[in-house]
Amino acid sequence: MTLPTKDEARALLTEYVTDTYQRFHAEMVARAVEGYAEKLGEDTHLWWLTGYLHDIDYDKHPTEHPGPSLQWFAEWNYPPELIHAVEAHADGFNGFTTKPATPLAKALMACDEICGIFYAYQKLNPVPFTEIKESSIKKRLNETRFAPSINREHIATAVTNFGITIDEHINNLIAFFATLPTPPTKS
């Protein structure tokens, strides 16, 4: 089984995802889990790819997500670790109940929703990600009116299951996002 390169994955995502926010979210989550792969000595490409493609079906199939992508990944002979992580990141949503059982699955869950907080914060405060303060993100996490569609309980549970503190996680993400550009305007 040969995994797609980053360029091939970007072309694939472009075929399935038209929403600019969803494309940037893919970049954020990919960079976040790739950063953790680097820290943990894991397969950085597999982790990046998992983060990048985890919502590939969401744009066209939001109420079935991640069902269609799980079928595609199996057809494309992607590794079971990637498939498990994508399925587990949807635990509690759209009828999915798979719990994260691998470091990759736990990292994906810990990174997915919180990327939305970073995105929303950066849109209101358009500074480079490296200038975002941990205390600012923590404050926004506690403000349920800020980015209200983001499930704070899901974030807290996922971060705990990943085995780190929220402070450590936020600081890691700030460092991981250093190379990301300013987010685009949501389409």
pLDDT of 4-18, one tens digit each?
999 999 999 999 999
pLDDT of residue 94: 76
Share in percent of the chain as helix, strand, coil (round to 5): 65, 0, 35
Q: pLDDT grade, residue 185 (50/70/90)?
A: low
Name the percent of the chain lying above pLDDT 70. 98
Query: pLDDT (tens digit, 9 = 90+) per residue, 76-110?
Result: 999 999 999 999 998 777 788 889 999 999 999 99
**10 φ/ψ sector (left φ>0, alpha ψ -120 to 50, else beta):** alpha
Q: pLDDT grade, residue 187 (50/70/90)?
A: very low
pLDDT of residue 1: 66
Residue 1 lies in a domain: no
Residue 34 lies in a domain: yes
Residue 185 lies in a domain: no
For residue 126, give every residue at least 6 positions away whose Cβ sits within 8 Å of its Cβ, in sequence order, or none.
Answer: 182
Residue 90 lies in a domain: yes
Residue 96 lies in a domain: yes
For residue 171, give every residue at least 6 positions away whose Cβ sits within 8 Å of its Cβ, in sequence order, or none.
Answer: 134
Residue 54 lies in a domain: yes
Single pTM value for the model: 0.94
Cα–Cα distance measured from residue 51 to residue 155, given in angstroms and rounded to the nearest whole number: 16
pLDDT of residue 171: 98
Inform me whether the pLDDT recorded for 36 exceeds 50.
Answer: yes
Residue 186 lies in a domain: no
Residue 187 lies in a domain: no
88 close to 109: Cβ distance less than 8 angstroms: yes
Number of domains in the chain: 1
68-72, 96-100, 148-152, 159-163: least confidently modelled range: 96-100
Q: Which two tokens stand for residue 63?
A: 């109420």
**92 φ/ψ sector (left φ>0, alpha ψ -120 to 50, else beta):** left
Domain that holds residue 133: 6-179
Mean model confidence pLDDT for the chain: 94
At 73, which CATH number? 1.10.3210
Residue 142: CA count within 13 A, CB half-sphere? 6
